[in-house]
Structure 1
């Protein structure tokens, strides 16, 4: 079932003039639902509102924190997932009309949910090899930090990874700095220092990125730095971690000839699960 502008339906009426389809003129959030609540919902909501403002979309009066939460819970309940865990995708598209220049800056939305097996973030011990994706580059600008529906670099990078037997790829920006993985933010562990690319490099303004930075700032045994990461640093790292709202933390096990541990990943995952239980 799809929640299409507040109506639950199996057949939402998208037309050929949908601006998300024509121009990628849409933003989205993917939210983990666990234990009867949307994890880090406030962070997702305010990121969505900020993205809409940056893209000059008109935010409807009924797009309040409470109302949108209620709309997402509707689709969770109708799918029979209320007592389970789920991944919820909320997409906001600009209204139809116009070409590159919109005729209407108003918006509509649709949302759907899929069941997740695990109620909490679980650390995978499986092999997870990555490689750099160098066919296309991320622009080091504000637009690249948003979750828009224009993700063609991530699509082609995912195809490249599958064709070459990699679990994931790391993306470079136009300055040849490593900015993120195909499906999440990147953290590099070297001794007691943990680095993650700054937003100025064009990485996604990730919700898990924000949570981990907050956690790390409170830990005395680690120093967190938001700083550019060069490809040469990858093979010198002790650990490489990918983060997103659904998996939590995914340790990278191999990049080229270098293999990595996952001790810091294990420590941080427990703290991330605790933070998810307490967050609104």
Structure 2
């Protein structure tokens, strides 16, 4: 079942038309959310990010669009998709039909989609995971790149490139040729006890798990955290690279070009991430 503005529809039922602004102009935002046994992971963080993004894009936020409202709508949709304790939820918000580039109004609609997840907890999968740089197109270093909008064509093309060349992922660069993020998440590199991730100013997504790991690392005196630009030349010198996103948590990279990587820090952090996620149950 799919939730469109509070009304539940079958997955194969069509309720869009050619005037949809998300389709025509990418005038849309989305949140990908992990839910386990009706516990919505990091709900407040997702909600605050969505509200901030809607304000930046000058969308009208309905008075009813509270965190409690969205929580109820998500749980209502999950109730119609039973059979597993863990779900992947995609909440999409888009400006309503009308206008060309300039909309006729800033009112919004929303869609909630639910899919089944195999694992109720974040699990570190020790499988080969090779990455490469994607250099055909570049991300901008600005606030719009920090938002989770539907304008993800660079990620799509990078995904095609990765599949064509048997890579599991690619790292995206900005116009200054700095490493910004992976196709599907933020990136961290580890050298000894130093953990580094690109700053938002470089154009990376303002990721929820990125934020949680930064908080975890700042509270641990055994690590030194640095939010700083990452040069592609650093990648073959570091001990470890991992990718983070809301669904998988932490994805360790095993190989980049001729360099193989360990996953020691990833193993330490995955348990702490699960603990943080469960604290608010």
Shorter-normalised TM range:
over 0.9
Whole-angstrom CA distance in 2 between matches of 1:2 and 1:94: 18
User: Does the CA-based 8 Å contact 2:38-2:75 persist in structure 1?
Assistant: no
Whole-angstrom CA distance in 2 between matches of 1:230 and 1:93: 35
Unpaired segments ≥5 residues, structure 1: none
Q: Which residue of the partner structure matches residue 263 of structure 1?
A: 264
Whole-angstrom CA distance in 1 between matches of 2:190 and 2:42: 25
- CA deviation string 1:127-147 (max 9, x = no partner): 000000000000000000000
Whole-angstrom CA distance in 1 between matches of 2:234 and 2:42: 31
Q: Which residue of the partner structure matches residue 56 of structure 1?
A: 58
Whole-angstrom CA distance in 2 between matches of 1:125 and 1:269: 12
Q: Which residue of the partner structure matches residue 228 of structure 2?
A: 227
TM-score scaled by structure 2?
0.98
**1:16 aligns with one of 9, 15, 18:** 18
Aligned residues: 279
Tell me by how many angstroms 1:27 deviates: 0.1
Q: Which residue of the partner structure matches residue 4 of structure 1?
A: 4
Q: Secondary structure at the match of 2:145?
A: helix
Tell me by how many angstroms 1:12 deviates: 4.6
Q: Which residue of the partner structure matches residue 27 of structure 2?
A: 25
Q: Which residue of the partner structure matches residue 87 of structure 2?
A: 86
User: Does the CA-based 8 Å contact 1:2-1:12 persist in structure 2?
Assistant: no
Unpaired segments ≥5 residues, structure 2: none
Q: Which residue of the partner structure matches residue 244 of structure 1?
A: 245
Tell me by how many angstroms 1:35 deviates: 3.0
RMSD: 0.8
TM-score scaled by structure 1?
0.98
1:272 aligns with 2:273: yes
Tell me by how many angstroms 1:36 deviates: 2.4
Superposition pairs of residues 1-280 of structure 1, within 5 angstroms = 1-10=1-10, 11-81=13-83, 84-279=85-280
- CA deviation string 1:79-118 (max 9, x = no partner): 115x610100000000110011010101000011101010
Give the 4+ runs in structure 1 shifted more than 2 A. none
User: Does the CA-based 8 Å contact 1:4-1:12 persist in structure 2?
Assistant: no
Q: Secondary structure at the match of 2:122?
A: coil
